[in-house]
Chains A and B, each alone.
Chain A
Amino acid sequence: MSMLLQARAVSFRRQGDRIFTPLDVDLVAGQAIVVLGPNGCGKTTLLRLLAGILEPAEGQVQRHAATAFLGHASALKGELNCRENLEFLRRFHGCPGISSSRALARTGLTGLGLRPARALSAGQKRRLGLAGLLVAPRPIWLLDEPYASLDDAGGQLVDELLNEHLDNGGSVALSTHQRKPLLTRAARELQVQRAEQEEPA
């Protein structure tokens, strides 16, 4: 069991106010964590802290492997076609995985390789984002609402990709409130709690 990511008592402050109560997160190879909590409790902030995009205000995060973060913003360029977007990610992250055409086929985007990304539907953009995880495989996946705007088949696709990733020794933390992932392994649940606002002294 190798530890991929370790966070100790992390929290984040906006305008001095703590967003959620400090949390410990351990991501171990082959293990998934489902981050749960009501809207606005800081799920996205927690994932961004784990990804290294935000610096924790308290506590610390140690990452022992390359990280992939898939957020609400697609990080795709609308002017480039699907294949060009994937080729860029493949070279940018420097850990080439399967070819762009195979990734497109795997995510149900066969035949759309030459379509500009701006002409894709919201669900297809999510699928292209998932294809980006396959062309540049990184052991730690941090997925913010991966089921958003996906149809049932898309949701199943996410589950399949998650299972494959965990079987290959990867690790996942994902936030969701549409559906719970159906995984072959047990996933731990992590409840994020909004912090009590401290009274000004």
Chain B
Amino acid sequence: MNLSALPALLLRDLRLAVRHGGESLMPLFFLFAVLILVPLGVGPGPNLLASIAPGMIWVAALLASLLALENLFRPDFEDGSLEQWWLGHLPVTGLVMTRLFSHWLITGLPVILFAPLAAQMLYLPGEALGVLILSLLIGTPILSLVGGLAAALTLGTNRGSVLLSILVFPLVVPVLIFATGAVSAAADGFSPRAHLGLLTALLVLALTLVPLAVTAALRLNIE
């Protein structure tokens, strides 16, 4: 097993993301489009915005993650790079995890970095900001993992983005519930620990099972 393949793949994925430029900035653009448009739609009252802020930021993060899923494995599948993973001297599950990690770096991390600004724009109470960032840190990797599974399963279908969204949504509902629950609890002055604990349990579950499932799903689609 050649572990130097993992940093090599990560570096190339990030280089390709930089080459694609605008396309890679879409998740962030999406986040701000939602954050600017919703107050225009529901009215700019601080109380109303503060109460919907956790949900808003989380829905934006979820849709941002979904945007880049279609191209998670498809270009590699079409140009033949993906089948090269199975030549025997490469750690396939490690490569899958590396690819999911680069998806998180491109879609999850920017949302986390700009969350403080988004929280300010929506009048989220200051004491809930830390919990918001913590919930994003635990929750966005789950979005990448679950999304990756759906992307791998729909690889063989012709442009399966509709099917992909249908597969992803029910699976990420618990993430959304516990994450926004944690932030709302903190904003109301309660302890967010129970919600964050359940969210972490989901992350552990996804981290252990998803890479194996993705590897199996990709293998099926290559044949």
Q: Which residues of A contact B (CB under 8 A)?
A: 48, 51-55, 63, 66-69, 71-80, 84, 88, 91-95, 138
Contact indicator A88/B12 (Cβ below 8 Å): yes
Cβ of B88 within 8 Å of any chain A Cβ, yes or no, is: yes
- With a CB–CB cut-off of 8 A, which chain B residues contact A84? 12, 15
Known A91-B5, A93-B5; judge A67-B88 contact (CB<8 A): yes
Q: How far is the CA of A135 from the CA of B78 in the complex (A)?
A: 23
Residues from chain A with Cβ under 8 Å of B78 in the complex: 73
Instruction: Known contacts A68-B87, A75-B79; decide if A92 and B8 are in contact (CB<8 Å).
Output: yes
Pair B12/A76 contact, Cβ less than 8 Å: no
Residue in contact with A63 in the complex, picked from B15, B88, B90, B222, CB distance below 8 Å: B88
Contact of B16 among A55, A63, A69, A79 (CB under 8 A): A79
Map CB proximity to A onto B1-38 as digits: 1 under 8 Å, 0 otherwise.
01111011101100110011000000000000000000
Chain A residues lying within 8 Å of B19, measured Cβ to Cβ, are 79-80
Known: A88-B12, A91-B4, A94-B5. A76 touches B79 (CB 8 A): yes
A62 to B130, CA, bound (A): 54
Q: Which residues of B contact A54 (CB under 8 A)?
A: 222-223
Nearest residue (CB) in A for B5 is A92
Chain A positions within 8 Å of B197 at CB level: none
User: Are the CB atoms of A75 and B80 closer together than 8 Å?
Assistant: yes
Cβ-neighbour of A52 out of B4, B81, B87 (below 8 A) = B87
Chain B residues near A94 (CB-CB < 8 A): 2-5, 89
- How close is B20's CB to chain A, nearest CB, in angstroms? 7
Chain B interface, >50% SS class:
helix
Checking B3, B8, B84 against A69 with a beta-carbon cut-off of 8 angstroms, the contacting residue is: B84
Complex alpha-carbon distance, A63 and B87, angstroms = 10
Convert B80-94 into 0s and 1s, putting 1 for each residue whose CB lies closer than 8 angstroms to a CB of A: 110110111110000
Within 8 Å CB of A51, what residues of B?
A: 86-88
Q: Which residue of A lies closest to B219 (CB)?
A: A55
- Check A48 against B12 for contact (C-beta < 8 Å): no
Nearest residue (CB) in A for B8 is A91
A73 touches B79 (CB 8 A): yes
13 contacts between A and B (CB under 8 A): A51-B87, A52-B86, A53-B83, A53-B87, A66-B88, A67-B87, A69-B87, A75-B84, A77-B12, A84-B15, A91-B7, A92-B90, A93-B90
**Residue in B4, B5, B81, B90 whose CB lies within 8 Å of A77:** B81
**Contact (A75, B4) CB under 8 Å given A52-B86, A54-B223, A80-B15:** no
CB-CB nearest in chain A for B85? A53
How close is B156's CB to chain A, nearest CB, in angstroms?
Answer: 14
Interface centre among A52, A71, A78, A94 (most CB of B within 10 A): A94
1/0 per residue, CB under 8 A from A, across B45-72: the answer is 0000000000000000000000000000
Q: Which residues of A contact B16 (CB under 8 A)?
A: 77, 79-80
Instruction: Write the chain B residue with the least CB distance to A72.
Output: B80
